[in-house]
Amino acid sequence: MNRASVPGLDGLLNRPSAAALPPVLRDALLQRWQADDADHTQAAPWPVLGDTLDALALLSADDSALLAALLFDLPWLRAGLEGLPLGSHKTAVVGLLDGLDAADQVWALHAGRDAGRNSEGLRRLLLSIIHDLRVVPILLARQLARMRAADRLPEEQRRALAQLTRDIHAPLANRLGIWQLKWELEDLAFRHLEPETYRRIAREVDETRLARERYVEHVKKVLSRELLAQGIEAEVSGRPKHIYSIWRKMQKKRLAYEQLYDIRAVRVMVKDVAACYAALGVVHSLWAPVPSEFDDYIARPKANDYRSLHTAVVGPEGRTIEVQIRSHDMHAQAELGVAAHWRYKEGSKGAEKAFDRKITWMRQLLEQSQDGSSGELAGALDAELTEDRVYALSPKDEVMDLPQGATPLDFAYHVHTMVGHRCRGAKVNGRIVPLTYRLRSGDRVEILTGKEADPRRDWLLASNGYLASNRSREKVRGWFHKLDRARNVQAGRDLLDRELKRLGLQQADLSIATRKFHADSVDDLYIQVALGDTGPHQVSRALLEAERAATQPAAPVLPRPTARRDSLGKSKFTVQGVGNLLVQLARCCQPVAGEPIVGYLTRTRGVTVHRTDCAALARLSATSPQRILPVEWGQAGSGYEVDVVVDAVDRRWLLKDITNLIAQEDAYVLDIHSDNVRNSGRAHLRLRLKVSDYGQLSNLLGKLDALPGVSDARRLG
């Protein structure tokens, strides 16, 4: 590429690499530049900009990417962005500039102490806050241009720039498969960080260059002649080796330079996959292969979608030589990586869909945790590694890798177990937030701690939303495991009593639950609840199921059940032994899906469905036992009505907080009655709700009970 100084913006825009910019846009930029203060233009990094545009053109960048790269380093032009004739490209250019701004924030973090220790976290943070992944090749091209000009910088700045390149940019280029930039980024960083080692290897490479080139030329002629004789159209060329990759191989294999055989290498390019394997057969027929050095990256592509056949053979004169075989399409992918897919963005809707699929592939690829060469993106990866992640910052600019949905409390436990145990609150971006706040990538989190460790048991309940990470939950559970038995028994009793009271199950027989959850006694069951091994809602559900099984009236052998359906065609109940009778919920007990139920055949209103513990049902069954019918819940319908009572301090926004919470839980308020006693400072609310099932009701009651000022939230009846 031409490294000559660029005489201002006009010289820059006349470069062949800027040809993709529309003429009307180039004219507008020149007019803006000529009308502006010359002091700005004299300070512009023209050589760096020229190299950046050349590298982007090599990667087939579109005009939006070229313009974003240009404007980012010319801030006075960017300030007039609104006046430029961008047309449909405006949104894309603004998004790319935002991504470049975000990258600058990450570079600032890298400049902090211990940056190298957390370089993978910084790469992940960068990629999580960039929405248009075309930003990444722009960053790589810009960094390459800066590295080429690094000789003019003071040593401290030069080494910092090289370290940033080695830690962030070169691994990203590798992960994206952009080899044309990767090799040079690595070599330039190596030259500035370890100049003596770089010069020594470069000298050894140069000293053997003539003999190596003569040998490779001989191999090319022999191989080309044999491929042609076998009817295989192929291009055979020498393959350059790069200083940094040579040094890496010397370190990995613990060999001296002269012991490396793959310094000698050729590349064979053919038209398709079938020709690749045919060419491999020719190579192995000419020279004996080295079995341990064969890799089939066509059948098993690398994580960055790299595909090729690699082999090493004992060639002429008994010298080992490396051979790469690939198709022309594979070569374009290998050299340009994901940038090769920018061309899909232009054209038909089908092409845009192909581009979107590639963007999805990139996002998955970039989220992988290692730079390993043998990863298989299409494989069945562990869910913990493939789920979305959140990358938050500590006050010291450390990047914390957390699961999606993580809270400040998860963050605290990620920092240190005792920080989590002592957590009392949190600030996110300088603002106090609840511990259930969902963190986003880029959030800066400060944990507020007390002097003593005092975790809360309700942190363990998933429905309360305090912890998203199993790792954090295990740390809380471990704390309570260490408490004495009596305290755990009492804590578990309190948690379970509160749950059973909310659901009207205070009189339930807990021995049923002890058998269900393999507890030796009721006290052991309480301990399981206290430690989070068994949730209160699990116990209450088990009690309801046992009650249903015990109280379900015996029935004779009856025909196959028929399903009753609501007006939407969704089955609500399965009633044994009846035809197309009307089925409705009893208003006296208002059963909810999942609870034990039984049907009563009325004289005029079809079958009425009651809870098995309904007092009205008990009276009816005593007088007319023949009218009792077995009933089961069918598929979920449109919801079930239930009455709930909430007792709370009478405060401002109480009703708003309650109704907002109900809406967030996807339940519906059908009716509200308030029975406030004047001057008592207390509120007694009765709400009729529509919920989907028992599980939703249980979660909702738990969250209502946790609202500020609420002393009790329970089901009525």
pLDDT in tens, 596-634: 788 887 776 777 888 888 888 888 888 888 778 777 776
pLDDT of residue 376: 31
Query: Coil, strand or helix: which one is 51?
Result: helix
Residue 291's CB: how many other CB atoms inside 10 A?
8
- What average pLDDT does range 182-189 have in this prediction? 90
Whether 367 shows a pLDDT value over 70: the answer reads: no
Would you say 150 and 161 are in contact if contact means Cβ atoms under 8 Å apart? yes
Report the distance separating Cα 431 and Cα 632, nearest Å: 50
- What average pLDDT does range 676-683 have in this prediction? 78
Lowest mean pLDDT among 258-267, 383-392, 671-680: 383-392
Q: Which residue has the tokens 């507020």?
A: 448
pLDDT of residue 540: 81
- Per cent of the chain over pLDDT 70 is 78
Q: Which CATH number fits domain 8-193: 3.30.1330.10, 3.60.21.10, 1.10.3210.10, 3.65.10.10?
A: 1.10.3210.10
Q: Which CATH number fits domain 202-339: 3.30.1330.60, 3.30.460.10, 3.40.50.150, 3.40.50.300?
A: 3.30.460.10
Res. 43 pLDDT band, cuts 50 70 90: low
E-assigned strand segments in 416-473: 423-428, 431-433, 445-449
pLDDT of residue 566: 42
Whether 23 shows a pLDDT value over 60: the answer reads: yes
* Pairing assessment for the beta strands 607-611 and 562-565 based on DSSP bridges: unpaired
pLDDT of residue 180: 76
* Pairing assessment for the beta strands 571-575 and 562-565 based on DSSP bridges: antiparallel
pLDDT of residue 366: 43
pLDDT of residue 144: 92
pLDDT of residue 122: 63
pTM: 0.48
Domain range 640-715, CATH class:
alpha beta
pLDDT of residue 652: 81
pLDDT of residue 190: 92
Would you say 176 and 362 are in contact if contact means Cβ atoms under 8 Å apart? yes
Report the distance separating Cα 137 and Cα 218, nearest Å: 38
- So where are the chain's domains? 8-193, 202-339, 387-480, 483-551, 562-632, 640-715
413 is written with which tokens?
């436990």
The closest alpha carbon to 545, from 506, 594, 602, 587, belongs to 594
Whether 350 shows a pLDDT value over 50: the answer reads: no
Whether 222 shows a pLDDT value over 70: the answer reads: yes
Ranked by mean pLDDT, which of 27-36, 441-450, 671-680 comes out on top? Answer: 441-450
Whether 232 shows a pLDDT value over 50: the answer reads: yes
Whether 354 shows a pLDDT value over 70: the answer reads: no
More confident residue, 307 or 348: 307
Report the distance separating Cα 66 and Cα 17, nearest Å: 9
- The superfamily in CATH containing domain 387-480 is Beta-grasp domain (3.10.20.30)
Query: What is the torsion angle, in degrees rounded to the nearest 10, for the CA atoms of residue 553, residue 557, residue 560 and residue 564?
Result: -30
